[in-house]
Amino acid sequence: MQYRDFGKTGIKVSEIGYGSWAVGGNEHGISYGPTDDRESLLSIEKAIDLGCNFFDTADVYGWGKSEELLGRSLKGRRDRHVIATKAGSDFYQGYGFQTFTAEYVRFALEKSLSRLKTDFVDIYQLHNPPLELIENDTTYQVLRDLKQEGKIRAWGVSVGSSEEGLKALETGLPDSLQVPINLFASDSCQRLFERASARGCAIIAREPLANGFLSGKYEINARFASGDIRQSWPREFINARVKAARALSFLTLPGKRTLAQAAIRWVLEHQEVSTVIAGVKTAEQARENFTAGQTRALSAEELQMIDDLREKSFGL
């Protein structure tokens, strides 16, 4: 495992991090299908064994369950690992609510600290706030206060696009930004990378496997279990991504590199990225994800073929 600077924070993080959305389970219908807690805990152990020290979660994942699993796993070795969690998805009121007031952020942090069995969070992030809040500097004052109080070491914003990230950089000067970056995404994030690098802001790359489709394991007309967010996606949308993944099959090297590993390696080609977080549900997925950096690097020819497909948007 290689490690990278987390912006200007002084924190070193594994270049591949653990995305813990999926291990929250599907009970509340906003995850990636059913999970087994024993297997989830084994996947965290495997990630640690393979050098992962960065764990990204959110209070809403499994309505606290993801944080609780991390708290159980990291108990007694908290000082060796970096925990990033998020607030703003106010599941305490029910599905679909968002709250970003200072009072709520403080309340949510205390709940997260209890579940994580820790007295501080390394990186505390606002979870996909609306643009009008991203552009309002007062939104971030509570995070600055919490950092001064020692409750958090750094703060950031999880955004849906590089444009939102640029707005957050201009307004609040966050320590980190979390943004979707994958082979399918048309957003190159180049301007965001340049601005973030200049300001010492860390970049957390999420969804490197494009909601699992870049694993290459799905077939046309794939069906998803109850509680899986993809269950309600349009059939045309799903099939287009299956076909796009097939177009990238040249990146698979039997016995040497899977499509998922190639997809993670492509994100790591962007040196501005501090860590790329791929979702994990099982120990086998952890093994595949966290050994991606040890697989054969993408060749100049492969990178050019990828660029050609991306310029055509994979037909998406």
Find out whether 219 and 196 touch, Cβ atoms under 8 Å: no
Largest CA distance in the chain: 53
How does pLDDT run across 108-127, given as a tens digit for each residue?
999 999 999 999 999 999 99
Q: Does the pLDDT of residue 68 top 80, yes or no?
A: yes
For 217, residues 6+ apart whose C-beta sits below 8 A from its C-beta are none
Distance CA 52, CA 12 (A): 11
What residues have CB less than 8 Å from 208, skipping those under 6 apart?
A: 181, 182, 214, 263, 264, 266, 267, 276, 277, 278
Q: Residue 250 in contact with residue 201, Cβ under 8 Å?
A: no
81 burial level (CB within 10 Å; 0-12, 13-18, 19+): buried
| Helix (H) or strand (E) run with residue 122 in it | strand 121-127
Taking residues 82-107, report their average pLDDT. Answer: 94
Q: What are the pLDDT digits (tens) for 248-258?
A: 999 999 999 99
Specify whether the backbone of 7 is left (phi greater than 0), alpha (psi in -120 to 50) or beta: left
Give the model's pLDDT for residue 168.
96
pLDDT tens digits for range 261-270 = 999 999 999 9
What are the tens digits of pLDDT across the range 214-245?
Answer: 999 999 999 998 888 898 899 999 999 999 99
pLDDT at 34: 87
Its CATH class, for the domain covering 3-315, is: alpha beta
Q: Using one digit for the tens of pLDDT, what is the confidence trace for 142-161?
A: 999 999 999 999 999 999 99
